[in-house]
Amino acid sequence: MDGIVVIDKPAGFTSHDVVSKVKRILGAKKAGHTGTLDPMATGVLPVCINEATKLAQFLSVENKTYLATMLLGVRTDTQDIEGKVTHESDQVVAEEDIRRAMRKMVGKISQTPPAFSALKHKGKPLYKYARKGEFPEVSPREVEIFSLDIREIALPRVTFEISCSKGTYIRTICEDVGNMLGCGACLSGLRRRQSGFFTEALALALEEDNADGMKTKLSDGMLTMAKCLPAFTAVEVSESQADKLRDGFQPDAVLSPNDVLPFLAVGDMIKFVSPEGHLVAVGQSNGPVSGVKTIRVFNKND
């Protein structure tokens, strides 16, 4: 049993909690997720099962879309509503000022990761330092906001949809907007609507009442590994070629020149798929002259 199950993460659960539960229900040997959601957040959480855990490196870099609610007039130590309140303001903010401040967040911006986050410093998550009152210096990093659309302004709350690059902290967006406005702000609600290829439409709710039924539901809803890499160029290989790729042979030693598309550019990603549709390996093109180099190989029990 290898593939990816997209879970609609409920509020109050850590991403690790969800992975552990899915792993237990399916009886999987290995499981992992492709991008942490905070406990208060809900929505799309892809969970990789067994061999599919090897796909995480290709999926975690993809863009994300969120529906978020910002609470104006409140600052907290965690930048979200679950933290300790550090400042409150009854300042009245004009809607046009809110829209102007949020427009400034679109594009490539510099963002300092929050102290209470899972980002690691010297091998340890930042939140572990913060809980002890320690706040190591963390360098700002560039992220990109592709779009930010305000859905509703019902002061003191502002609901917006945001599409962004990997590593963007939505609660930091809220705090930065609040600082621009002078009243402060924090994140009060967050739902991930999309993570790369994975959307809300694919997400399955975790139900408590029927373990056997839940196992069937997750098994039936599991996506094959090959399907989860839609942007990769597919190259079908025979079973004998697949066995050689699994044994460590490089694609150029296994395939004929016509098996790999000659127009592939340097850096293009390729998925090698068996006649039955099983993912055999992932490679990267070095151009028509240098050929394709294998990055990951997958066992036959897909």
Q: Which residues are catalytic?
A: 38
How far apart are the C-alpha atoms of 268 and 137, rounded to whole Å?
37
Owner of token pair 């609609």: 8
Are 114 and 141 within 8 A, CB to CB? no
Instruction: Give the SS3 label for residue 187.
Output: strand
Strand pairing report for 269-273 and 42-49: unpaired
Report H helices in the chain: 15-26, 56-59, 95-103, 126-131, 170-181, 211-221, 239-246, 251-254
How many CB atoms within 10 Å of residue 78? 21
What is the identity of the amino acid at 280? V
- Nearest CA among 201, 166, 192, 169 for reference residue 65: 192
β partners of residue 271: 234, 282
Q: Is the previous residue joined to 156 through a cis bond, with omega within 30 degrees of 0? A: yes
CA angle 126, 129, 130 (to 5 degrees): 85
End-to-end CA distance of the chain: 6
How far apart are the C-alpha atoms of 90 and 73, rounded to whole Å?
6
Q: What secondary structure letter does DSSP report for 188?
A: E
How far apart are the C-alpha atoms of 267 and 139, rounded to whole Å?
29
